[in-house]
Structure 1
Amino acid sequence: MAIGLVNVSGMNVELFRGAAEIWRFEGDSKRYSDGVAVDNKGYVYSTHDYNIIRKLDPEGKEVWAVALGDMHIAIIAVDNKGYVYSEVGGYSIIKLTPDGKEVWRFGTFEKNSYTKSVAVDDKGYVYYGNYNGLVIKLDPDGKEIWRFQHNASVESVAVDDKGYVYCGSYNSLVIKLDPNGKEVWRFQHDDSVKSVAVDDKGYVYCGSTNNFVIKLTPEGKEVWGFQHDDSVKSVAVDNKGYIYCGVSRKIIKLDSNGKKVWEFYGAYSSAVAVDDNYVYTSNSDNTIRKITKELYIKK
């Protein structure tokens, strides 16, 4: 949508509110790319090609790729030192160096304990949820600190800068845990919570299979809800309070009041990540895209 004209070097150009693609990286096959993360230097990490994790530089060029196990990899996180965390073999969490070398792996190997989600905090503590309803906190060396047992699959996990943990579950709950793994509150949603994110003020954002994005206060009270026409696969929030939602064939940007800012159309969107300036998305066509967050110019 054009929102005005500006003069650039004596030529009038249109300003558009929306996102523009900067680059794309295409995988080697047509399998889903389910996970994407970005570090504080702009390096991008993605799950690709069934069992492969890739690191891309800020220009979208491959730095390295590693194959892990023989099962599909769907989740990924990166800490502020460039260490990478993902699943391996369906049951375990693995930590990789910034060069893609294994540091450690941790798994419960209990029946149906498939790993569903992972997050890491500023101190390198790792949090992951599994199909059996467990949320487990690990120290930076991969040792278990505590576990919290829920009664349904933990579909998503997020952690804030104070160590509070937020879990989205298959049975429609958002649960907040304190840094010791004790429940603080729970919010009953209307459907399975596929993604959860938290901003630097403690507000929580969750996306569900019944097409809603909901914002909660730090106390677990609903602020607003935004409804789309398809399931919300992923949610991310930036340092200005803007929310980015991965839904079928597009990314939607919302402001802090839940109003739509723009839509970016592409392939079926699986995951979304953000940094200070850009948005990153993984898609069903096995493609990673880097797109702008703000205005772009069309001559």
Structure 2
Amino acid sequence: MGSMSPIRGCRRTIMMSSVLLFFVGGMSATDGAPPTWTFVTGGRIVGSPVVTETGRVYAVAEDRYLYAVEHGVARWRYDLRVRPIGPIRVSPDGTVVVRTRADSLVAVNPGGGTVWAYRHRTEIASFEHGGDGHVLIGDSAGVITALSATGRVVFRVAVGDSPVTTILRGSGYNLFAATRDGRLAAITDGGARVFRRLFEARIEAMASTADRVIIALSDGRLIAVDTFGREVWTIGVPEAARRLGVAGAHIALISDNAVWFFDNSGITVGDDRFDGLGDTVIAGDGVFVAAGNAVYSVRASQPRAPVARFSSGVGAIGAGGGRVAIGTDDWVLSSFGNAHATSRPGIGARVPYWRTSYDYLFLKDQISAGTDQAVRATREMISRVDRADLAGSYHTIRELLIEVATPRTPRTGRVIPPDVRSAAVRALGRLGDAVVRDFLARAVAAETDPLVMVAIFDAFTDTGIVSPEPILEIAARYLSRARGAELSGEIARAGVDLVIAAHRYAGYVPDVGVELLRRAMEAPFPREIREYALTAARQIDGR
């Protein structure tokens, strides 16, 4: 994709995207301070700079380079080969991820070397760093794709039918995503869907506190929901939100002309109005805003303080490591110290000892007690999955549903009816994380009951298929044996759904999938199944 390049010969004095960094001792009002050094790049800076905890500044420019600058010295520049689109994301291990095209990302290590380059199957609408070192991509089809630290696809999960505009790291093990049509979805680090909720208006911005997610809607409402989608409070705001975030102990909402601060109960605690705002960044316990050719520091409990005034307009602002970086229209990037150096409220942690909980011990005892008790316990767990009521019990439900879905041996003396087992498998499909996918991969090779096998196929469809060949081969063999047998129509329908899921999640249909569709179009399968397979084939072919 690109390569690291030494900085020889690029310290030019022409006014083309210079990078100017200087530091001041505090955040008191100032109209400018003398620069400590100047660095010139070969083109205008694209997007907002990123400042790391160590003070290193990353910026991409129209000359197609990613620059890493420290203390006035460019440590390296990386040739992106194309004009970058932005933005920049920096992972906890220092890997820098840049969007280079509408459908492409490149990852660069802190030393300036290529880690991976990835081209997505459709346009990238948003991307963010998730848990476990993943990079999460939200695309124009409403699907989130997780890439590992080596750029390998880990999972794909559909969260809606319109572009994923925002991905947000939330409380505990949850990630939150917003789609353009107003859908909010929560997924785990492993790709399991926890809940999906559709709002009546478009989601403009989101932020997360320790125990809830704050959502700004296009109809002027600000809504707080808990981490399982249940509404906590709703207030009206006078202006549409452009950005939302956590500033210390407050929620900061930024519109085109004002900055508003709310507490975690939705009560307004401060606001500051401007004639018009440019770029903004929320850092520590405050907000930095660009207004005309000046940058101001805005906090809930203090009057605005001018940080710096420039001879040209301010184009971009970034913050991190106690510093704020400001990019101006004459292509100068300036850095100031002591940038609201206050940590945000802590993010909730995973429940560490869930196996000792009363809930886990009670449900496990019910499953072990006998068939009737196991059926009742299973129905309770499935009900929780259906209601997205998994707070504090996600691991409990997942493990016990797997236990119910597993065939019983004569030694145990417990036999769970196939309809209950199949319902448990479908519920696992709605959870759909990596542990569930591993279980399904084992179960599909050993299952003999057709009702449960159909449920396994449907669960694979729900979880998303990254490598479709193995499961489609099993489905095709099972379909051949099922001709004229009981549930043959359901088996064929589930097989067609698998092919559709392979096309959606993996981006292609292997030969065995084409053969499966062909078989499903033939007698003796019911007419509606044959028509369904034909329609799927035409959609996949784009006709």
Structure 2 length-normalised TM: 0.41
**Contact 2:131–2:189 under 8 Å retained in 1:** no
- Aligned counterpart, 2:206: 196
Q: Which amino acid aligns with 2:153?
A: E
Offset of 1:250 from its aligned partner? Answer: 4.4
Which of residues 266, 287, 290 is equivalent to 2:316? 287
Which of residues 232, 245, 250 is equivalent to 2:253? 245
- Aligned counterpart, 2:441: none
Q: Which amino acid aligns with 1:287?
A: A
Cα distance in 1 between the residues matched to 2:232 and 2:90: 29
Q: Which amino acid aligns with 2:270?
A: V
Which of residues 118, 123, 127 is equivalent to 1:114? 123
Offset of 1:87 from its aligned partner? Answer: 1.3
Cα distance in 2 between the residues matched to 1:269 and 1:197: 20
- Greater shift, 277-286 or 150-159, is seen at 277-286
Q: Which amino acid aligns with 1:195?
A: A
Cα distance in 1 between the residues matched to 2:239 and 2:63: 25
- Aligned counterpart, 2:175: 165
Cα distance in 1 between the residues matched to 2:252 and 2:31: 17
Offset of 1:80 from its aligned partner? Answer: 1.9
**Contact 2:220–2:236 under 8 Å retained in 1:** yes
**Contact 1:19–1:263 under 8 Å retained in 2:** no
**Contact 1:208–1:233 under 8 Å retained in 2:** no
Partner SS state of residue 228, structure 2 = coil
Cα distance in 1 between the residues matched to 2:81 and 2:190: 32
Offset of 1:171 from its aligned partner? Answer: 0.5
- Aligned counterpart, 1:102: 114
- Aligned counterpart, 1:40: 53
* 2:243 counterpart of 1:234: yes
Cα distance in 2 between the residues matched to 1:117 and 1:91: 10
Q: What does the per-residue CA deviation read over 1:211-252, in whole Å, with 9 as the maximum and x for residues that have no partner?
A: 4443221121223345444432322225x4422333214444
Cα distance in 1 between the residues matched to 2:164 and 2:109: 26
C-alpha spacing 1:172/1:185, structure 2 compared with 1 (3 Å): same
Superposition pairs of residues 110-189 of structure 1, within 5 angstroms: 110=121, 113-121=122-130, 123-149=132-158, 150-160=160-170, 162-189=172-199
- Aligned counterpart, 1:92: 104
Structure with higher strand content: 1
- Greater shift, 180-189 or 209-218, is seen at 209-218
Cα distance in 2 between the residues matched to 1:128 and 1:81: 19
Offset of 1:155 from its aligned partner? Answer: 0.1
Cα distance in 2 between the residues matched to 1:19 and 1:222: 40
C-alpha spacing 1:242/1:182, structure 2 compared with 1 (3 Å): same
- Greater shift, 169-178 or 35-44, is seen at 35-44
Partner SS state of residue 133, structure 2 = coil
Cα distance in 2 between the residues matched to 1:157 and 1:186: 14
C-alpha spacing 1:80/1:72, structure 2 compared with 1 (3 Å): closer
Structure with higher helix content: 2
C-alpha spacing 1:153/1:121, structure 2 compared with 1 (3 Å): closer
C-alpha spacing 1:265/1:286, structure 2 compared with 1 (3 Å): same
Q: What does the per-residue CA deviation read over 1:240-282, in whole Å, with 9 as the maximum and x for residues that have no partner?
A: 44223332144443332232434374864455343x4664568
Identity, in percent, stands at 17
Offset of 1:140 from its aligned partner? Answer: 1.0
Offset of 1:203 from its aligned partner? Answer: 1.6
C-alpha spacing 1:78/1:262, structure 2 compared with 1 (3 Å): farther
**Contact 1:155–1:167 under 8 Å retained in 2:** yes
Structure 1 length-normalised TM: 0.70
For structure 1, list consecutive stretches of 5 or more residues without a partner in the other structure.
1-17, 295-299
**Contact 1:116–1:131 under 8 Å retained in 2:** yes
Cα distance in 2 between the residues matched to 1:212 and 1:48: 37
**Contact 1:242–1:254 under 8 Å retained in 2:** yes
Q: Which has the higher contact order (CA 8 A, sep 6+)?
A: 1
Structure of greater Rg: 2
Cα distance in 2 between the residues matched to 1:165 and 1:38: 24
Which of residues 88, 91, 116 is equivalent to 1:76? 88
Q: What does the per-residue CA deviation read over 1:2-39, in whole Å, with 9 as the maximum and x for residues that have no partner?
A: xxxxxxxxxxxxxxxx99789899x99xx896556554
